Amino acid sequence: MKRLLILGGGTAGTMVANRLVRELDMNEWHITVVDQDEIHYYQPGFLFIPFGTYGKADVMRPKRDFLPREVEVIISEVRLIEPEKNLVHLVKENRTLRYDYLIIATGSRIAPEETPGLMEEEWRKSIFDFYTPDGAVALHRFLRTWRGGRLVVNVAEMPIKCPVAPLEFLFLADAYFHDRGMRDRVEIVYATPLSGAFTKPIASQQLGDLLEQKNIQLITDFNIAGVDVDKKAIVSYDDQRVEFDLLVSIPTNMGSEVIARSGMGDDLNFVPTDKHTLKARDYDNIFVLGDATNLPSSKAGSVAHFQVDVFIENFLRYIDGLELLPTFDGHANCFIESGHGKGFLIDFNYDVEPLPGMFPMPGIGPFSLLRESRINHWGKMMFRWVYWHILLKGREMPIPAQMSMAGKWQR
Amino acid sequence: MATKELNVSLDAEGFMTDPNQWTPEIAEAMAEEEGIAPLTERHWQVINWVRKEAARTGEFPSLRAISKRSGVDTKELYELFPKGPARKIARCAGYPKPKGCI
C-alpha cells in the first residue's frame, strides 16, 4: 500500500481528496486526511454575516460529510512535520504517520497579534475582523445598534486571503447604511498598503472609480505600524494617523504554525512552492495546494480549484515516473459584490490582469467581466450551493483550469 | 550621474531588468533620483543584505523579510527609504519592481 497524507481538510484538501479517490486505485493507496477542526466553513460567506444576509449556521457543515468514505479522517492538531524522514507527528494520542506522498493544504489564518494595539481593549468593541466566523458575528451585533461615525477599513499587509473581500465589504457597507437610512451619518474610509484600490492596473482604476462614486475615501500606501488605542487611530510607519469610530481590520495573513515549527515556511509561514507544478520547492514528495503556498496567485477557493485540476493530472504522471508539467498558470476567477444586488466578475492569471469583456459559461452565463451587473450578483449567491454540492465534491465545473482569453477585450 | 547614462537596461519605471549588471555606483545614482542620496552605512546594510538574500533564494525578499532579518527594522526602513521602501530598495539594489501580491 502506498500512503498519501493530506494535511488540512478545508477547500483545497477536501477537493483533492475527492478527486484522488476517483483517480487512484484504492486497492493500492491508503489516503489519510488530518484536520484540527470538525467543521467546514464556507469562507466566502463570512463577508455577508456582518450585514445579516447569512448567519453562522449558513456557512457551517460537518467536514466529514464532504470527504469521501474511502479516506481515513483524523481530527487532530499536527505537532510536527519531518519532511526528511517522511513523518508527521500528531497531537492526538501522540500518533506518528508515515507517508510516501504528502499534500500540504493547511491554509492561511489571520494574525491580528502581529499588529500592536489591534487585539487589546478595543478588540471586538470598536475593532473587528470579518475573516473569522466569530469576528463576523460580533461585527453584525455591533452594526445592528451603531448610530454612525467614521468607519475605517484597513488591510494590514499583503498578501491576504481573498484580495477582493475588503472592497466587497466597503461596497456592501455603503449599501447597508443606505438601506438603513443612515449613510449620511457614516463616513467610510479605506486605508490600504497598495498604491491603488486593487493590485492590477485596469481593475484598480475601475474599482477606484466605484469607490469614488460611492463616496468612499481611499488612502493608499498606508502601512500600519500599530493602533493608538486611547486615541482610536491607526498609525502608519511613516506617522500618518487615521482616526476611527469603528475599525474593520484585515489583519496580517499567515500560514499555519506547524509550517513554522517544522522549519518549512517563509517569513509568513507560507511554503515555498513551484509556481507552475505546485511541488514544494525543497521536497520531491510534497505538494502544496490552496492558501498554504507562497505563490503570487490569489489566496482564494477558485484558485485552489484550478490548482487541484492541474495537480491531479500531474500527480498521475508523477507516480508513473513521468516529469511534472508546468501547467498551473495562476488562474483566478472571483465574483465581487458591489452592493444593491449587483456584482462584478474578474478572471485573470499570473500574466493577464483582469480585463473587461464577457465571460462565457454554458447554461448560465455569460457573465459580464469587470462591469457591474445583476447576474454577477446572482452568480455569487448561487455559488454557495455550487460550493457545497459541486466544487467540494470535485465534480466537473464548466470552467477550464487554465485561463482563456475568450470574450476578453484587449486594447 | 543620471541612471539613463549608466548604460544598463531599465524598464519604463526606471527599474533594472538584469540584477547582474548592478554596481555600487548604480545604487548611488538610483538613490539620487529617489531623493535619498547620499547612501549611509545603514542604507548599505539593507542593500547588501537584500542582494545576498535575492541571490540565495532567486526572489526579491518581502519587506517583512527585510525588516526581520537584515538588521534594520520596519520603522527605520521607512526613515531610510521613505514612502514605499520596497520599491526604493529594489531600485537601489538593482532589482525589477517587486510584484504586488494578489
Share of chain B above pLDDT 70, in %: 93
Say if B4 is an interface residue toward chain A (CB within 8 Å): no
The count of CB pairs under 8 A between chains A and B is: 43
Judged by CB atoms closer than 8 Å, whether chains meet at A159 and B101 is answered as yes
What residues of B are in contact with residue A332 (Cβ under 8 Å)? 102
The set of cell numbers assigned to B16 is 533594472
Say if B56 is an interface residue toward chain A (CB within 8 Å): no
Q: A265 to chain B nearest CA, in Å?
A: 12
How many residues are listed for chain A in this entry?
411
Backbone angles phi, psi at B63, to 5 degrees: -60, -35
CB-nearest to B74 from A237, A266, A298 is: A237
Find, among A279, A227, A319, the residue nearest to A24 by Cα.
A319
Which run of H or of E encompasses A174? Answer: helix A165-179
Q: Give the per-residue pLDDT at A60.
A: 97
Answer for the pair A89, A99: CB distance below 8 angstroms, yes or no.
Answer: no
Share of chain A above pLDDT 90, in %: 84
Enzyme catalytic residues of B:
101
CB-nearest to A194 from B57, B83, B100 is: B100
Find, among B89, B65, B100, B101, the residue nearest to B16 by Cα.
B89
Question: pTM for this one?
Answer: 0.93
Say if B78 is an interface residue toward chain A (CB within 8 Å): yes
Average pLDDT over residues A398-405: 86
Answer for the pair A369, A354: CB distance below 8 angstroms, yes or no.
Answer: yes
Find, among A119, A30, A37, the residue nearest to A78 by Cα.
A37
- Find the chain A residues whose C-beta atoms sit closer than 8 A to any C-beta of B: 157-159, 163, 194-195, 199-200, 221, 223, 225, 237-238, 266-268, 272, 296-298, 332
Cα A379 to Cα A338: distance, rounded to the nearest angstrom: 13
| Residue B101 pLDDT greater than 80, yes or no | no
Identify the residue among A108, A202, A238 best suited for mutation to test binding to B, counting B beta carbons within 10 A and taking the highest: A238
DSSP B34-89: HT-PSP-HHHHHHHHHHHHHHHHHSSPPPHHHHHHHSS--HHHHHHHS-S-HHHHH
Judged by CB atoms closer than 8 Å, whether chains meet at A223 and B78 is answered as yes
Max CA separation in chain B (angstroms) = 36
Note the helical H segments in A1-130: 11-23
What pLDDT digit, counting tens, does each position of A318-345 carry? 999 999 999 999 999 999 999 999 999 9
**Most confident residue range from A125-134, A357-366, B92-101:** A125-134
| Residue B102 pLDDT greater than 50, yes or no | no
Local confidence band at B84 (pLDDT 50, 70, 90 cut-offs): confident
Find, among A74, A78, A70, the residue nearest to A31 by Cα.
A70
Cα B78 to Cα A67: distance, rounded to the nearest angstrom: 48
| Residue B100 pLDDT greater than 60, yes or no | no
What pLDDT digit, counting tens, does each position of A243-258 carry? 999 999 999 999 999 9
Q: Which residue of A has its CA nearest to B68?
A: A267
Average pLDDT over residues A66-75: 97
Residue with cell 519605471: B13
Q: Give the per-residue pLDDT at A366.
A: 84
Which of A141-155, A167-181, A337-351, A364-378 is predicted least confidently? A364-378
CB-nearest to A267 from B68, B84, B102 is: B68
Backbone angles phi, psi at A88, to 5 degrees: -130, 125
Local confidence band at A411 (pLDDT 50, 70, 90 cut-offs): low
The set of cell numbers assigned to A367 is 457573465
Name the pairing type of β-strands A246-250 and A101-104. Answer: unpaired
Q: Give the per-residue pLDDT at B35.
A: 94
Answer for the pair A3, A53: CB distance below 8 angstroms, yes or no.
Answer: no
CA distances from A27 to A1, A2, A23, A142 (A): 8, 9, 12, 53
Judged by CB atoms closer than 8 Å, whether chains meet at A296 and B75 is answered as no
CB-nearest to A238 from B83, B99, B102 is: B83
Judged by CB atoms closer than 8 Å, whether chains meet at B101 and A157 is answered as no
What residues of B are in contact with residue A297 (Cβ under 8 Å)? 102
Say if B100 is an interface residue toward chain A (CB within 8 Å): yes
